[in-house]
Structure 1
Amino acid sequence: MKTTETFESLVRAEFSPENTYLNTASSGLLPARTVAALHEAVTIRAEGRPLDPLFEDVELARAAFARLAQVPATRVAAGPSVATQTALVAASLPAGAEVLTVEDDFTSVVNPFHTRGDLKVRAVPLERLAESVRPGTALVAVSAAQSADGRIADLPALRAAALTHGARTYVDFSQAAGWLPMQADAYDFTVSTTFKWLLGPHGAAFLVVPEDFGGLSPLLASWVAAEEPWTSCYGPVVELAHSARRFDVSPALFTFTGVRHSLTLIEELGVAAVQAHDLALADRFRAGIAALGHEPLPAPGSAIVSVPGLGSRQPELSEAGIEVSNRAGNLRAAFHLYNTPADVDRLLTALSG
């Protein structure tokens, strides 16, 4: 784990926000190294230089995410969004299969199962998820941390229930990867976008699949899904990649260049150090907002804090240079590595007025 001094010096070298940014649950800030890499990628395109370094960045980003997820890179597929990756999983299910979801989970995690039209999709409260797995449940889909309020799913209990009843699991780490340790091998499928806590540009999401691909079909396969992409540019692909790359779609090169460099910062800091930093700030805010007479929604151990009844304050806070979210009337504050105790105190001061 990084020392406090090393952690803070690394962060200071990468971020200099002009406001109090407490909205990582919507979109993370870009590190300076990522901004520089994006400029270089644009220059490569503008000057007509070979794009080989950008394609290499896709593989380096895949490898970095695999290390974060604690799985081999051969199990990681690269795509544009969580919704497209969910759709891939949804398409693998037989007609009539039961999919267990959580009430009011993020749309990208659940909607592709509904749009299939021939699946039995059942939604239950988050706290009842594990006990709601039953014989005949084909798949359980859930966010590791809820977007709306930061509640963390009891993933070990879910895993045990799924194993008992022969159900597969699909876990979205979009609101957790980067501050919550992730062990993707514990679940059948995991997914995460990269523009939130992983600090990358928009347009990339990684799907982790089983070694045997879990029955997925490469529905969106193009030339990049081939075992030898550069000799598979014309006509049908003769041989799909032997790895999860068979599920790739043509990558947004600039995005993956940015993701590659953002993930190096997360690795340098260490997820454990980021988690300790983020949770200390979230707990500081929880204590402060309670002292002001407001009760945050219960989400112990989360870097996301949601306070009922204060969402309407979001516009005035933004005017004051404090960025938070309004989610269903709740004020949602998200605390990440570039935030400080002074940021927390500034928000509390603004809310006390």
Structure 2
Amino acid sequence: MQRRAPLGGAEFAPETTYLNSASSGLLPMRTRTALHAAVDESASYGTMGRDYFGPAAASRAAFARLLDIPAERVAVGSSVAVQSAFVAGTLPPGAEVLVPEGDFSSLVNPFAAHPGVRLRTVPLAELAGAVRPDTALVAFSAVQSLDGVIADLAAVRAAARAHGARTYLDITQAAGWLPLRADDFDFVVCGAFKWLLCPRGTTFMAFGGNGTGGGHGDRDAAGAWPAALHAGWVAGEEPGESSYGPVLRPATTARRFDEPHAHYSYLGAAQSLALFEELGVTTVHAHNTALADHYRAGLTARGLTPRPAPGSAIVSTPGLADAERRLTEAGVRISVRGGLLRASFHLYNSTEDVERLLALLDG
């Protein structure tokens, strides 16, 4: 294969061979610099800084540009689980939610815990065919955390439309490296601390285009938003007027679903997301998948068979879990999930990282 150097230049100089972006990403230098400055600033201006809303607005706009949707349809939050609980709360009593077996708990568990939801699970490969007329919502990850399998997004979207079901897509393991059409789905959530290299505590929720993308869109036929069940003061049209008592004038945009955000997280996110705008998701996709394919080929040459996940930047392999400790001692950051050794390749990785991992597995 063509040898590949890391993308991003001086933004990254890890002391480890870092192959664990599916767990959390590395912070670019620009993000670290901004965070250090913010901490220093807080000694005189408090932990909301001198501009609490500015970085969140910049992050919201940058995330929207990456997905090619209006910023007015993006809310900021703290975790995928909170957003999943919000989506569960928009469903009528007795609603059926269809999810893949073994999808990530932050996506699935809030539906399982909601007293008004009937949760049904099927294998990921059968998801589109399992949508039926009484399915209210199909909730699934674009890329599976366990083994990197990419869902058939078009097939699930088409099946949901055919049966009048809404769609809730988790792009936590996809955003930043996999080209996506967020407007094709009703709700899209992203924990941005993995592949988008943002500080932990940065989560985005994007709402569909009111019928132009995911079928139902984010609003009903009259243009009304779902109830903002967890709205606080930041969700008001004028937050300064919404600090006490009920929020009488919710924001007219998806900002009505904002949580009071972690200032440092979103200040850093604005910097990290700018890097992806400079590089382009298509460039990152080509880089990551080439490295993953090189690793798969190396495993195959050694008689090892990774889980099938065509086109994925995540490679999970059975029979290698015992190697994790030895790899960690050698300075390789990697993970074991479900008994599989999971390697994830991102923009700061290189051909040399792949070959070092394979050589250590030989040892």
TM range (shorter): over 0.9
Conserved? CA contact 2:295–2:354, under 8 Å: yes
Query: In proportion to residue count, which structure has more helix?
Result: 1
1:65 to 53, 63, 71: 63
Q: Does residue 292 of structure 1 match 2:307?
A: no
Structure 1 residue 211 displacement after superposition: 4.9
The answer on 1:47 being equivalent to 2:57 is: no
Q: Is the 8 A contact 1:54 1:254 kept in 2?
A: no
Q: What is the distance in 1 between the residues matched to 2:28 and 2:356?
A: 23
Asked whether the 8 Å contact 1:88–1:216 carries over to 2, the reply is no
Distance 1:155 1:179, change over 3 A: same
Q: Give, as a single letter, the amino acid of the residue that structure 2 aligns with 1:15.
A: F
Cα deviation code 1:258-292 (max 9, x no counterpart): 11100000110000000000000000000001111
Shift of 1:54: 3.9
Hey, what's the Cα distance between the residues in 2 that align with 1:118 and 1:325? 36
Cα deviation, 1:115-163, whole Å, max 9, x if unaligned, reads: 0133111101111110111111100000000000000000000111111
Query: What SS does the corresponding residue of 1:53 show, helix, strand or coil?
Result: coil
Task: Give the corresponding residue for 2:28.
Answer: 31
Q: CA contact under 8 A between 1:88 and 1:217: conserved in structure 2?
A: no
Alignment-mate amino acid for residue 331 of structure 2:
G
Identical counterparts, % of pairs: 55
Cα gap change, 1:125 to 1:10, in 2 (>3 Å): closer
Checking the alignment, whether the CA contact within 8 Å between 2:183 and 2:209 is kept in structure 1 is no
Q: Secondary structure at the match of 1:208?
A: strand
Tell me the TM-score normalised to structure 2 length: 0.93
Aligned pair 1:187/2:185, yes or no?
Answer: yes
Give RMSD over aligned pairs: 1.7
Within the alignment, does 1:301 sit opposite 2:311 as a pair? yes
**Distance in 2 of aligned mates of 1:151 and 1:244:** 30
Aligned to 2:356: 346
Q: How many positions carry a matched residue from both structures?
A: 349
Tell me if the contact between 1:98 and 1:139 (Cα under 8 Å) persists in the aligned partners. yes
Q: Do the aligned partners of 2:136 and 2:166 also contact (CA within 8 Å) in 1?
A: yes
Query: In structure 2, what residue type is equivalent to 1:301?
Result: G
Amino acid at match of 2:15: E
Q: Tell whether the 8 Å contact from 2:291 to 2:350 is kept in structure 1 after alignment.
A: yes
Amino acid in the other structure paired with 1:66? A
Secondary structure in structure 2 of the residue aligned to 1:306: strand
Q: 1:126 aligns with which of 120, 124, 127?
A: 124
Q: Is the 8 A contact 1:174 1:194 kept in 2?
A: yes
CA contact under 8 A between 1:90 and 1:113: conserved in structure 2?
Answer: yes
Alpha-carbon distance in 2 for matches of 1:104, 1:74: 33
- Name the amino acid aligned to 2:40: T
Which amino acid in structure 1 is aligned with residue 27 of structure 2?
L
Is contact 2:7–2:348 with CA below 8 Å preserved after alignment?
no
Alignment TM-score, normalising by the size of structure 1: 0.96
Letter in 2 for 1:245: R
Residue in 2 that maps onto 1:261: 271
Q: How far apart, CA to CA, are the structure 1 residues paired with 2:208 and 2:286? A: 30
Contact 1:138–1:167 (CA under 8 A) maintained in structure 2? yes
Task: Give yes or no for the alignment of 1:205 onto 2:203.
Answer: yes
CA 1:70–1:308 in 2, change beyond 3 Å: closer, same or farther?
A: same
Q: Deviations over 1:290-324 (max 9, x none)?
A: 11111000000000000011122111110111111
CA contact (8 A) 1:62 1:76 kept: yes
Out of 79, 89, 92, the position equivalent to 2:90 is 92
Mapped contact 2:5–2:351 kept (Cα < 8 A): no
| Counterpart residue type for residue 305 of structure 2 | E
Q: Distance in 2 between matches of 1:161 and 1:251?
A: 35
Alpha-carbon separation, structure 1, partners of 2:226 and 2:297: 46
Q: Which range is displaced more, 265-274 or 50-59?
A: 50-59
Q: Structure 1: which 5+ residue stretches go unaligned? A: none
CA contact (8 A) 1:311 1:328 kept: no
Question: 1:32 & 1:175 partners in 2: Cα distance?
Answer: 22
Counterpart code for 1:300: P
Q: Verify the 8 A CA contact 1:22 1:322 in the aligned structure 2.
A: yes
